[in-house]
Amino acid sequence: MSAQELAATAAAMVAKGRGVLAIDESLGTIKKRFDTIGIENTEENRRAYRELLIANPGDEKYVSGMILFDETIRQSTAKGEAFAKVLISKGVMPGIKVDAGAKDLAGHPGEQVTEGLDGLRERLAKYRELGVRFAKWRAVITIGPGIPSTGCIEANAHALARYAGLCQEAGIVPMVEPEVLMDADNTIDRCYEVTEYTLRTVFNELVRQRVTLEHTILKTNMVVSGKLCPVQAGMDEIAAKTVSCLRRAVPAAIPGIVFLSGGQSGLDATRNLNAMNAAYDLPWPLSFSYGRALQADALKAWGGKPENVAKAQKVLLHRERCNGLAAMGQYSAAVEAELAA
């Protein structure tokens, strides 16, 4: 893929009113999701659920791409059409998760580093043949007593940069995802501090590894209070501090930023995204790359029953539409209420 094609792909990922649906859950994570609705974690159930998500009529209005898991990119609809072809036929770009997960970082208790660089060049070439246009690599940064350490942040930033360089070499746009977790009892100010330092470190390493920023999408966390913090920041503070952090740490050359939901409810993730786009003028589009925040209500509506597919798809489309509007600062309570009407 030429530089022009990479630029066009990156721009399309964050096109006005559109974002990315993450359906790249590992086998362990999808089992946890299926456990909540009481169905077995079989390959066929995973295939059926992914078909519900991928073949949802009309979602191309709000979804520019979907991040797939390795199993999913090789699966097909019940009628035998490859999932990647289904997406491409309706103008949605197939993406792929390529990291091998976060593993304990030697010498750094309580911290992890993401693995998966071995053989990545060859895997990316094969994914490109399957129609993949962009990829994702997630790094996990944990807040706790004495952590994160500089060593952990630098190790993850280096891996992200190596991954991004290999993606661009293969003609695939890298989605770079450093996630500061929201699971602890830290304040929103501590999240701001860690997120800013992490993003600065990641972009410094991207430049060192000669990654073209103009062909790179950032996926990151919002600046929020830890889930166990007794004082939870509200929507306006989250929006203000997230925007401030991004302005300080993210180069204007990046074509777009998408947020992970990070454990936020579907409603909160939509409201917080809308608050940023409604109130601030920024050098890059701010959009979404949600997994659970988009899927949770649809998964519950489906319940593993074929007769519920259409209902679940309607619920999913509503959540996607709400976030598409939030990406333009045009979401409202009235829009949210339309599904229930």
What is the 8-class DSSP label of residue 105?
P
Token pair recorded at residue 338: 């339309």
Q: Which residue out of 25, 51, 111, 219 is catalytically annotated?
A: 219
State yes or no: is 338 an active-site residue.
no
Token pair recorded at residue 267: 């409603």
DSSP string covering 209-253, please?
A: TT--GGG-EEEE------TT-SS---HHHHHHHHHHHHHHHS-TT
Token pair recorded at residue 202: 């990641």
Are 74 and 124 in contact by the 8 Å Cβ rule? The answer is no
Q: Which residue out of 177, 179, 196, 205 is catalytically annotated?
A: 177
Pairing of strands 102-104, 134-141: unpaired
Q: From residue 254, how far is each of 170, 174, 203, 206, 249 by CA, in Å?
A: 19, 12, 10, 12, 11
DSSP string covering 57-73, please?
A: TTGGGTEEEEEEPHHHH
Which residue's entry shows tokens 């659920």?
49
State yes or no: is 219 an active-site residue.
yes
- Among the listed residues 64, 246, 227, 201, the one whose alpha carbon sits nearest the alpha carbon of residue 143: 227
CA angle at 232 for the pair 229 and 298, rounded to the nearest 5°? 100
Could you give the residue numbers annotated as active site? 177, 219
